[in-house]
């Protein structure tokens, strides 16, 4: 039996979902979920959870009866192109969760807090907790590994956040990087519109007229003062630091075109209306590449054989639906103007796919002419199906030589480089600028991995490479010989990974606690471990267990995290 209970804590009401079951003649009751602070919210969430439990139950009994993998799980098994055999995942269900609920999950579990909450919060600013910082760091590390370490044509830099104000004059941000702030005459809600929309659009909330007469232009860059009175700006994109350092980096690396420079770092935008949790913030991080080529240079790389929903500007203008096709075919059909866009979009999509996301939640959309930024002649976004709609996750713009020529003009410096092939000095073009927000990526991994098992417990099925905690170590019972050995194993693993030690509660409870925050492996020291110097490893996604020697544990764990070995082949099956 499942029911809602209200608890009063410090004078405030909190609602929970509890379940009572009869076990060996006794009624055992356990808390299934926190439901919020109001009766209405609690009833809505309870309905959703009970619905999911029922669906999971049906799914489970179907699986048990037919012993077949249902279509849902077929989809799950196709989620990665990893060659290692994945265990059957019969009992999981990806759960659709609202942005409000993911925000509350993140707060409860220590991923993300509203910044300065004790002072009432600060809109558009977020603080990352002990799990959030690990997930964020792992995302950045994996991005760097894929884009910089594993390629020969890309090098990294780390530029300053506040730089010479002329950089932003030259880039066009001082003159163009603004929104127009308006208030609806009818519902009085504030809104932002693009300059091109003045006089043309209505309030999206009530369809009322905007008060365009009193519209105010709103500069999106944050101003600050350097020294006594010099005005400077916090960078609104990391890209400009790449342009102003391009020539030095290229020459120091003895670069050859095509050549990319990568950077990961903070960017700041004074957004009029920050919203959707981390999605639109005022302080965020970008992972950007400026990819330089000689004018008209063709793409020498093979385009990955992947397919995705494609939504060109023409399809949008003709009110057509996006079409699923291979990147290569879209190029052959002339949907991409240049081979480079097909290549970079496929490479970026593949990064997400290799980290285990559901490819069906991705599509690429070309900017219509009136959407293009002032520096861009063509731009495609990699979009994700967020709970609040298809939204930009990553922009990939063709910036031509706009930025380098602007900086030449404003600095009066020659930014051309010597091209070995043509034996001439040339000003390279940025053919593609893959620009991805860390926070949006963070959201994608959370939404995509948020699942429930057949008991209705949350399991965050993050790829082991990005999971905040790689393993949890448990002594099976609280006895000195078990605890001593468990602590020894824990300390050894801790030298290399973020690992936790947990001896509180039943083993089942400890598994559930770790499943909920995405820990891929749980290591237990049991009675046999004391005799044989070995441990059990339990895999989050299959809940299967293997036994391995402690002397081999580190090497096996490394292979499991990197998915270089299948779980079942990593040790002796239990």
Query: At closest approach, how far in Å is the CB of 387 from ligand GAP?
Result: 16
Report the residue number, 15 or 128, with the smaller CB distance to ligand GAP.
Answer: 128
- 3-state SS string over 360-407? HHEEEEECCHHHCCCCCCEEEEEEEEECCEEEEEEEEEECECHHHHHH
Closest separation between CB of residue 373 and ligand GAP, Å? 7
Q: Please write down the HEC assignment for all residues of 10-28.
A: CCEEEEEEEEEEEECCEEE
Distance (Å, whole) CA 99 – CA 103: 6
Minimal CA–CA distance to 155: which of 249, 81, 64? 249
Q: Site residues (CB under 6 A) for ligand GAP?
A: 237, 239, 269, 271, 280-281, 284, 286, 288, 392-395, 433, 435-437, 439-440
What span, in angstroms and rounded, lies between the C-alpha atoms of 187 and 210?
A: 10
Residue 76 vs 288, nearer CB to ligand GAP = 288
Cβ-based nearer residue to ligand GAP, 105 or 284: 284
The nearest distance, CB 219 to ligand GAP, in angstroms, is 14
- Please say which residue, 237 or 539, places its beta carbon nearer to ligand GAP: 237
- Using the minimum distance from each CB to ligand GAP, give the nearer residue, 271 or 526: 271
CB of 395 to ligand GAP, least distance (A): 4
Question: How many Å apart are CA 295 and CA 197, to the nearest integer?
Answer: 34
CB 162, min distance to ligand GAP, A? 17
- Indicate the residue among 395 and 475 with the shorter CB distance to ligand GAP: 395
Q: How many angstroms separate the CA atoms of 546 and 538, rounded? A: 7
Tokens 């300390």 found at: 491
Nearer to ligand GAP, 167 or 489 (CB): 167
Asked if 218 and 179 count as a contact pair (C-beta separation under 8 A), the reply is yes
Query: With respect to ligand GAP, which residue has the nearer C-beta, 235 or 328?
Result: 235
Residue of 118, 115, 67, 75 lying closest to 93 (CA atoms): 75
| DSSP letters for 23-83 | ETTEEEEEEEEEEESSHHHHHHHHHHHHHHHHHHHHHHHHHHHH----HHHHHHHTT---S
Alpha helices in 78-212 (DSSP H): 99-109, 130-144, 165-170, 173-176
Query: Smallest gap, in angstroms, from Cβ of residue 186 to ligand GAP?
Result: 28
Looking at beta carbons, which residue is closest to ligand GAP?
A: 437
Q: Least Å distance between CB 197 and ligand GAP?
A: 18
Rounded Cα–Cα distance for residues 363 and 389 (Å): 12
| Least distance to ligand GAP, CB of residue 267, Å | 7
When the beta carbons of 121 and 199 are compared against ligand GAP, the nearer one is 121
Q: In the bound complex, what is the minimum distance in angstroms from residue 393's beta carbon to ligand GAP?
A: 6
Sheet arrangement for strand 178-183: 190-193, 178-183, 216-219
Instruction: Compute the least distance from the CB of residue 283 to ligand GAP, in Å.
Output: 8
- What whole-number distance in Å separates Cα of residue 261 and Cα of residue 251? 12
- Residue 293 vs 499, nearer CB to ligand GAP: 293
121, 115 Cβ separation under 8 angstroms: yes
């Amino acid at each position: 039996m499942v029911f809602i209970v209200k608890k009063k804590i410090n004078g405030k009401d909190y609602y929970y979902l509890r379940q009572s079951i009869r076990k060996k003649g006794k009624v055992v009751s356990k808390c299934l979920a926190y439901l919020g602070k109001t009766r209405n919210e609690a009833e809505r969430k309870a309905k959703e959870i009970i619905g999911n439990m029922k669906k999971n139950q049906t799914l489970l009994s179907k699986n048990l009866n037919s012993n077949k993998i249902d279509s849902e799980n077929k989809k799950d098994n196709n989620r990665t192109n990893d060659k290692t055999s994945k265990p059957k995942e019969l009992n999981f269900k990806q759960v659709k969760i609202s942005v409000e609920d993911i925000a509350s999950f993140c707060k409860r579990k220590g991923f993300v807090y509203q910044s300065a909450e004790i002072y009432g919060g600060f809109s558009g600013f977020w603080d990352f907790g002990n799990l959030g910082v690990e997930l964020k760091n792992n995302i950045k590390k994996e991005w760097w590994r894929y884009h910089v370490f594993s390629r020969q044509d890309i090098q990294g830099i780390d530029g300053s956040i506040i730089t010479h104000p002329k950089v932003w004059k030259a880039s066009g941000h001082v003159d163009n990087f603004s929104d127009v702030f308006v208030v609806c005459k009818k519902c009085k809600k504030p809104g932002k519109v693009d300059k091109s929309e003045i006089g043309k659009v209505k309030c999206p909330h009530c369809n009322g007229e905007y008060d365009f007469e009193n519209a105010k232009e709103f500069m999106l860059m944050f101003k600050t003062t350097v020294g006594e009175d010099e005005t400077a700006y916090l960078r609104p994109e990391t890209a400009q630091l790449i342009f102003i350092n391009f020539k030095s980096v290229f020459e120091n690396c003895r670069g050859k075109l095509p050549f990319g420079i990568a950077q990961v770092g903070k960017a700041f935008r004074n957004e009029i209306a920050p919203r959707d949790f981390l999605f639109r913030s005022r302080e965020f991080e970008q992972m950007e590449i400026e990819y330089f080529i000689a004018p008209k240079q063709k793409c020498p790389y093979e385009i990955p054989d992947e397919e995705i929903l494609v939504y060109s500007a023409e399809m949008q203008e003709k009110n057509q639906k996006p079409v699923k096709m291979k990147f290569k075919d879209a190029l052959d059909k002339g949907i991409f103007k240049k081979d480079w866009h097909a290549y970079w979009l496929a490479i970026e999509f593949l990064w997400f796919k290799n980290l285990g996301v559901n490819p069906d939640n991705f599509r690429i959309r070309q900017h219509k002419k009136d959407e293009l930024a002032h520096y861009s002649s063509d731009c495609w976004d990699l979009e994700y199906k967020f709970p609040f709609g298809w939204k930009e996750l990553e922009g990939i713009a063709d910036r031509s030589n706009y930025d380098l020529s602007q900086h030449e003009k404003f600095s009066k410096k020659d930014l051309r480089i010597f091209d070995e092939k043509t034996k001439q000095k040339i000003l390279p073009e940025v053919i593609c600028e893959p620009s991805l927000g860390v926070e949006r990526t963070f959201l994608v991994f959370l939404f995509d991995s948020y699942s429930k098992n057949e008991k209705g417990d949350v399991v965050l099925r993050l790829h082991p490479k990005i999971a905040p905690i790689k393993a949890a170590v448990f002594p099976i019972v609280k006895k000195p010989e078990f605890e001593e050995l468990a602590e020894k194993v824990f300390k050894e693993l801790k030298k290399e990974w973020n690992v936790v030690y947990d001896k509180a509660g039943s083993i089942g409870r400890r598994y559930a606690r770790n499943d909920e925050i995405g820990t891929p492996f749980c290591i237990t020291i049991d009675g046999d471990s004391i005799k044989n110097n070995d441990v059990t490893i339990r895999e989050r996604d299959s809940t299967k267990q293997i036994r391995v020697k402690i002397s081999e544990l580190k090497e096996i764990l490394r292979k499991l995290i990197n998915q270089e070995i299948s779980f079942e082949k990593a040790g002796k099956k239990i």
